[in-house]
Structure 1
Amino acid sequence: MSDHGHDHGSGHAQRHEHGSGSHGGHSHGVSADADRRWLAIALTLITAFMAVEVVVGVLAGSLALISDAAHMLTDAASIVLSLIAMRLAARPARGGFTYGLKRAEILSAQANGLTLLLLGAWLAYESVRRLVHPPAVEGGLMLVTALVGIAVNVAATWCISQANRSSLNVEGAYQHILNDLFAFVGTAVAALVIVLTGFTRADPIATLMVVALMAKAGYGLLRESGRIFLEAAPANVDPDALGDRLVALPAVVEVHDLHVWQITSGQAALSAHVLVEPAGDCHAVRRDLEELLRHGYGITHTTLQVDHASEQVLQVTLPGDRKLLDDPGHCEDAHGPVHRDEPHEH
């Protein structure tokens, strides 16, 4: 029985290994090329303006503009990192990397989140320092440059929004550009206040507001990428509720060793050991389980070991009962809760 069940699982895994590409659109084919093109356009816009902003910032004596340019440098780095990660993720699985390098995108998202937090900390320090000792700033030149910066960042933000933001990698680059746009809006408002009133502390006050947004975005990216690295279930899937739905299907007696995780953003995988009634059709049950997972949860990469349950398992026992653990149809060290159906009449 057990070997029969393993054949189900391995054959199914091979079929979905080839089919899963159609569900990870942002990493394959035309859409991946489109994503890279939009990111490359945004990178060109940002790099060109950054060079101009550094020169103007030095001429105007504006630390705000120079810090904005530094922020744009991290934007450019995040996009370059995203482009590299997308190319790595598109490579086919081979050798020891049985999933390929899809998680390179999650590494990129984590790096983007970390740089947002680090840059936010540095800007917070600079803002406090300038609140205490406000420097002299050429407000007019600062205002013009900030307005041009807003236009450039709006264009760059729009470009990246055209890419697939369900990818944490693309979302990381998007958050960098979006926060830079907020920074330029803050700089423009501060420059206008300086021109009209001479109140130079307006600049660091606006920057502190942007720092709060950067901290929120950076934390969100680190949290989501961390969940994937720690093999947590997708945020929209409750494994306990999922197990209860699986065991409620006809002929299914028990589901244990249920694991659901994300290979990369938007690509979930599931494995489980399923026991069915002695007279049940293992093939039919596996197909029913696959249909439920595909249509109910969008999970298409599945490995299911389906076996017939022994008479011992059909008796009413608790998950920790020795009789249950001694049964040859069970794993020696089951992981997670055991989902059992109500006793069947025989």
Structure 2
Amino acid sequence: MHGTQHHEHHHDHPAHGAETGTERRLLMALALTLGFAAIEALAGWHADSLALLGDAGHMLTDSLALGIAALAAVLARRPPTPRHSYGFARSKTIAAFANALFMLLLISALVWQSVQRLDAPRAVDAETVTLVALIGLAINIVVATMLSGHGHDLNTRAALLHVIGDLLGSIAALASGLLIQLTGWMPIDALLAMLIAGLIAASTVSLLRSAMHTLMNGVPRQLSLPAVGRRLAAVDGVRGVHDLHIWALDDQRIALSAHVSVRDMGAWPQVLTRLQRCAQQEFEIDHPTFQPEPMATRPLTYVPPPAPNPQGETGVIVGPR
């Protein structure tokens, strides 16, 4: 009774309904943002307003981010194929990573433009800026409200980050327009833009790190690899656990694989059931896979893997018996 034994447990937390709801919100946000960008661009062309045309371009970048997120959400629901056995759920993580990189590029461009503007201040049409900012603020509040409440989803978080960046930009533009009308001090426009860039950069880097962690098959942050290993090794009938790996398949599903040293190979079906129950109920691991091995002839101890560790070995964990 050697070989790999696994069992996949589906939490069936209204996943499908939540996913389709997220898709609808992303598509509605995309339609609203793209529609406003088109209207703003036409108004800017008619009024020969660079402020309006510039903000329309910014809204267009938000539309691109929302489009990427919506496409990824649709792809993520495709079923597994012979060549993609885990399905396409990771497309959302890839989209989040791409959108975070895109946001960093926009932030860099904004900072560069702000520095240039500080070196050579230019007159700003404060009344036009104020009007555009008010309309943009209203649109972005609506879109941000539609996308909020999905903080666990990296893909939606990345799209929301673009919208929040634009929302804060609208607030900064509104404050800038009012202050310029009151004081005439032009540098405030560039200074507020740099402040917003700094605030958004911190969230963007955090999102980028989370997406990279998932793409690199990192252990989910809510779990501890040694703690899970020790608990599995304490299951009745288990002598030790080694070659333990835990990773996130997507934002909702976690997988685990491990080699298990057992006392009695004949009792493996019962031991497997206990291991699966432990992984699923205590750690919410959806897809645990265990490979049984006969008990080693020499005592085992937990030894952290050496670094660097090209074999990917994760050490040996022994039960308390």
Flag whether TM exceeds 0.5 (same fold). yes
* 1:154–1:170 distance in 2 versus 1, CA, 3 Å: same
Q: What residue identity is the alignment partner of 2:158?
A: G
Contact 2:242–2:260 at 8 Å: present in 1 too?
Answer: yes
Contact 1:252–1:274 at 8 Å: present in 2 too?
Answer: yes
Partner of 2:10: 20
Contact 1:24–1:267 at 8 Å: present in 2 too?
Answer: no
Partner of 1:270: 256
Q: CA deviation at 1:60?
A: 7.0
* 1:205–1:73 distance in 2 versus 1, CA, 3 Å: same
Secondary structure of the residue that 1:166 maps to in structure 2? coil
Partner of 2:218: 232
For residues 213-250 of structure 1, give each alpha carbon's deviation from its aligned partner in whole angstroms, at most 9, with x where no partner exists: 22112212211111111111111111112111111222
Partner of 1:316: 299
Aligned 1:58-97 pairs, distance under 5 A: 59=47, 61-63=49-51, 65-97=52-84
For residues 94-143 of structure 1, give each alpha carbon's deviation from its aligned partner in whole angstroms, at most 9, with x where no partner exists: 12111111111111001110011000000000111111112112111211
Q: CA deviation at 1:266?
A: 2.3
Q: What residue identity is the alignment partner of 1:257?
A: D
Contact 2:300–2:316 at 8 Å: present in 1 too?
Answer: no
Secondary structure of the residue that 2:249 maps to in structure 1? strand
* 1:235–1:303 distance in 2 versus 1, CA, 3 Å: same
Q: What residue identity is the alignment partner of 1:129?
A: Q
Contact 1:257–1:338 at 8 Å: present in 2 too?
Answer: yes
Q: What residue identity is the alignment partner of 1:85?
A: A
For residues 24-43 of structure 1, give each alpha carbon's deviation from its aligned partner in whole angstroms, at most 9, with x where no partner exists: 81xx3x22221111111111
Contact 1:61–1:136 at 8 Å: present in 2 too?
Answer: no
For residues 65-84 of structure 1, give each alpha carbon's deviation from its aligned partner in whole angstroms, at most 9, with x where no partner exists: 54443332221111111111
Q: CA deviation at 1:169?
A: 0.9
Structure 2: gaps of 5 or more residues: 304-310
Contact 2:301–2:316 at 8 Å: present in 1 too?
Answer: no
Q: CA–CA distance in 2 between the matches of 1:138 and 1:43? A: 29
More helix by share: 1
Moved more, 281-290 or 101-110: 281-290
Q: CA–CA distance in 2 between the matches of 1:57 and 1:124? A: 24
Q: CA deviation at 1:160?
A: 1.0
Q: CA–CA distance in 2 between the matches of 1:96 and 1:166? A: 28
Partner of 1:149: 136
Aligned structure 1 segments of 4 or more residues deviating by more than 6 angstroms? none
Partner of 2:233: 247
Alignment identity in percent?
Answer: 30
1:219 to 184, 198, 205: 205
* 1:89–1:24 distance in 2 versus 1, CA, 3 Å: farther
Q: CA–CA distance in 2 between the matches of 1:245 and 1:280? A: 22
Number of equivalent positions: 313
Aligned 1:35-46 pairs, distance under 5 A: 35-46=22-33
Secondary structure of the residue that 2:277 maps to in structure 1? helix
Secondary structure of the residue that 1:6 maps to in structure 2? coil
Q: Using structure 2 for the length normalisation, give the TM-score.
A: 0.90
Q: Is 2:319 the counterpart of 1:335?
A: no
* 1:196–1:54 distance in 2 versus 1, CA, 3 Å: farther
